[in-house]
Homo-oligomer: A and B are copies of this chain.
Amino acid sequence: MDFKEKVAESYRQIQDEICSGLERADGLGKFEEEHWEREGGGGGRTRIIQNGNVIERGGVNFSAVYGKLPEVVMKSFSAEEDDFIATGVSIVIHPINPWVPIIHMNIRYFELNEKLRWFGGGIDVTPHYIVENDAKFFHQYLKNVCDQSSPDFYPEFKAWADRYFYIKHREETRGIGGIFYDRLNPQKTQLTFDEIFKFSEDVGNAFVPIYSELINRNKHKEYTDQQKSWQYLRRGRYVEFNLVYDAGTKFGLETNGRVESILMSLPPTANWQYNFKPELGTEEERTISLLKQGIDWIS
């Protein structure tokens, strides 16, 4: 088994474990699976969970695709060669209760003409209402995961997430960030490819304990219709980020990925309200005031 097969095999297993963990945390919803093949090469298995106790809709996708990169993507990589393989796990969960945050995770491995190779990924959380204690727990957990591989990772990847998950036209972050990393290779990290691979597995394995905790802390909180409406507005912002800025969505659509698997990140329902501004002193206004880059959530 060569390196890319080893990665794919491990990622498949991570998908399995995450799906089991999410079903346990939800207590009702069950994943449904769809296998698909990509015309240019490869395919994946998409798993969707809907109408659970906690989860309104979520997807946990595994894919391993290969082929020729379209020119527009090559340009964005500044690459001159176009044989690629990409394998990864992608997750987005939209919960029912607005006190439970939206979560996103991705781990991926990429090869270009068997010469350029790298890992990318990250986890980030988008609360409809920011609970500072939860944000602290989340970031501390990520820091512990990162510190096992390198003391540089958390500060670097936390700042990268702040830059990446940013809705420029709204001048707000998508949520409380997390970690984001890309193009990790030995030259960049002083780690071997095996060690970077291990780091990406650690990120994948962090998903279930992190999200189970965030679910358990918040799933029993009561909420009003007005708070549900606010959730729909925040989901509107999530749609804006994913369709206007998200590189993974763009890459997927431009490489003729499976549309339904890529766009499972979009919420079941989203609202837009013209010129909505929450009243001063409300929880909604407080949340918006915290959608800023550079906040240290841990200390």
Per-residue interface assignment for chain A, residues 34 to 48, with 1 indicating a CB less than 8 Å from any chain B CB and 0 otherwise: 100000000000001
Bound-state Cα–Cα, A267 to B272, Å: 6
Bound-state Cα–Cα, A275 to B253, Å: 16
Specify which chain B residues have a CB less than 8 angstroms from the CB of A266 in the assembled complex: 236, 272
Find the B residue at minimum CB distance from A272: B266
Per-residue interface assignment for chain A, residues 180 to 221, with 1 indicating a CB less than 8 Å from any chain B CB and 0 otherwise: 000000000000000000000000000000000000000000
Judge whether B48 and A274 touch: CB under 8 Å: yes
Per-residue interface assignment for chain A, residues 264 to 281, with 1 indicating a CB less than 8 Å from any chain B CB and 0 otherwise: 101111111111000000
Name the residue in A170, A262, A264, A272 with the highest tally of chain B Cβ atoms < 10 Å from its Cβ. A272
Find the B residue at minimum CB distance from A170: B259
Binds B, one of A8-16, A142-150, A239-247, A284-292: A239-247
Residues of A238-262 at the interface with B, using a CB-CB cut-off of 8 Å, are 239-240, 243-244, 253, 259-260, 262
Judge whether B269 and A274 touch: CB under 8 Å: no
Bound-state Cα–Cα, A172 to B12, Å: 33
Bound-state Cα–Cα, A262 to B236, Å: 15
Bound-state Cα–Cα, A71 to B236, Å: 28
Option from B59, B253, B264, B270 in Cβ contact (under 8 Å) with A244 = B253
Find the B residue at minimum CB distance from A241: B243
Find the B residue at minimum CB distance from A232: B269
A63 is an interface residue with CB less than 8 A from chain B: no
Specify which chain B residues have a CB less than 8 angstroms from the CB of A75 in the assembled complex: none
| CB of A11, distance to nearest CB on chain B (Å) | 21
Specify which chain B residues have a CB less than 8 angstroms from the CB of A243 in the assembled complex: 239-240, 243-244
* 6 sample A-B contacts, Cβ–Cβ < 8 Å, listed by A number: A168-B253, A169-B253, A170-B259, A264-B274, A266-B272, A269-B269
Q: A169-B259, A263-B272, A264-B274 are in contact. List 18 more A-B contacts (CB 8 A).
A: A34-B275, A48-B274, A48-B275, A169-B262, A170-B259, A239-B243, A239-B270, A240-B243, A243-B243, A260-B275, A266-B272, A267-B272, A268-B271, A268-B273, A269-B269, A270-B270, A270-B271, A270-B272
A residues sitting closer than 8 Å to B (CB atoms) are 34, 48, 50, 57, 59, 168-170, 232, 236, 239-240, 243-244, 253, 259-260, 262-264, 266-275
